[in-house]
Amino acid sequence: MSSTIKRILSLLCVFVFFFVMVTLLKTWQAGGDFGALIPSFLRFSQKKSTQTFTPSNKAVLNLGDVQILSRLNQEYAKLTKAVVPSVVSIDTAGVRTEQQVDVFGRIRVRSYPTQGQGSGVIVSREGHIITNHHVIAGQQDIRITTHAGKTYGATMIGEDSLLDIAVIKIDSNETFTPLKFGNSSSVEVGQIVFAIGNPFGLGETVTQGIISAKERSLSDNQRDLFQTDAAINPGNSGGPLVNLTGEIIGINVAIFSVDKNNPSFQGVSFSIPSNEVKDTLEQIIKRGKPIRGFLGVRMRDLDTMVRRELGYQDENGSAVYVITPGSPAELAGLLPGDVILKYNDEKITSTQQLISLVQQSNVDEVVKIEIWRKGEIMNFQATIRESVSIESNSNNPLQDKEKINLGILNTIGISVRNLSGIEARRGFGGVVATMISPNTLASGLIQPDDLIIALNNSQITNTDEFYLQLAASVPKQETILHLIRGGQPLRVNLPKL
């Protein structure tokens, strides 16, 4: 063997030795198995170890040990089985039009297809369904899916946008299984309730909770709501809130969420009491629309701060803090700062009581109102009007040329709308910017969908207040707008004209 070949073999042996050593060192550092380095055909056959696995075949408790929980479990299931056949899923479709202003100030109208989902509950054998007004508002096609999986078309019968209730009827001559209305006046804080609906379009879902509170209303065009901790999410709207006997005690309407663009359940949900829903249903069936009394006041309960501001010592009554222009209250002579003591000789102990009395009054009924005003007791008479007719006259405050300078508002360039019922019940207040005209005072500062909650540190409650205060402030001073944009608070300063 030549010396050259010997040198090559020596170098090869050295290379193999160092390669093996490096491989073993890396395997050891990595905590690996040295046996895995040996080719399978060189390994000695070995017996695989048998794993011992003994699962439990007995529950830790017998049903006899948890009899109350066992019966409660059975009764929950029994209640659910009895209720869900009357709950339906609602799918809607339609076309929405929207006005847009181009860079040249021209208004263009664009159309967008819309789709929505919600829930409803069957309340008659003929197939009448209660749902929320916002579920079907503006939608041309309504489809109903029952618990059995059958799909039907549906026809609008009537709606109450203030209460956020709509009545639709299944397009079928079949006989359906309705749920009975319970008495919401007998509902107590702490009682167990169940919410049934179609959250996120997932299908029939049941959640359980309690009545957390009986909510109060702040004006006489909004009914009081139940607050519950039963999980309610988008898609649950219009579904029933039922008691332990499967009676409807509320219609799920809203959740409270700090993010109005991406609402989600945070332990606070709201439902419209069944007595109010039933009353509206009966009026829609008989007359085609609901009719309720309207006085035109926004009220405050007499807490310590309000009594101190007014100099009022008693605890009974309800304080007026806003009068709707042109309303029966204004025509009767009521003023902000008045304390309403009696309504038709009935003593007022809370704002909720007063609102209920007003709404139960007949249209054109003349009511007696006793008030306290700066230490004096005064009596007035007001003619109750229908709330819808009053609201329809005040939807566009820009028509009130005596109170608002249209030239100033055009220069500022902000158009706003009132909050919808669902937005208001999520805990928001203020107005929403809808359009900002180009080359105006507000362009570049305000954006569409901004929630404007205050003007010059004064809370905004509706479009009337906003336009009036804005037109009065901007010509005189720098105007501060407090708003929420994308869930974040923001302050904007409009310069003086």
Active site positions, annotated: 134, 164, 237
**Helix-strand-coil split of the chain, %, nearest 5:** 30, 35, 40
On the CB side of 402, CA atoms within 13 Å amount to 2
**Under the phi-then-psi rule, with left for phi > 0, alpha for psi from -120 to 50, and beta for the rest, what region is 235?**
left
> CA dihedral defined by 379, 385, 389, 394, rounded to 10 degrees?
0
Q: In 9-150, where do the E strands start and end?
A: 87-101, 107-122, 128-131, 141-145
What does the DSSP 8-state code read for residue 61?
A: S
What values do phi and psi take at 443, rounded to 5? Answer: -65, 135
Residue of 290, 328, 48, 268 whose CA lies nearest to 162:
290
The rounded distance, in Å, linking the Cα atoms of 409 and 400 is 12
What's the longest Cα–Cα distance across the chain?
131
The rounded distance, in Å, linking the Cα atoms of 451 and 422 is 14
Q: How many helices (H) and strands (E) does the chain have?
A: 11, 26
Residue of 163, 197, 386 whose CA lies nearest to 281:
163
Q: Calculate the CA 54 to chain-centre distance.
A: 51
Both tokens assigned to 266: 């945070």
Q: In 326-460, where do the E strands start and end?
A: 339-343, 346-347, 366-373, 376-383, 385-386, 414-418, 431-436, 451-455, 458-459
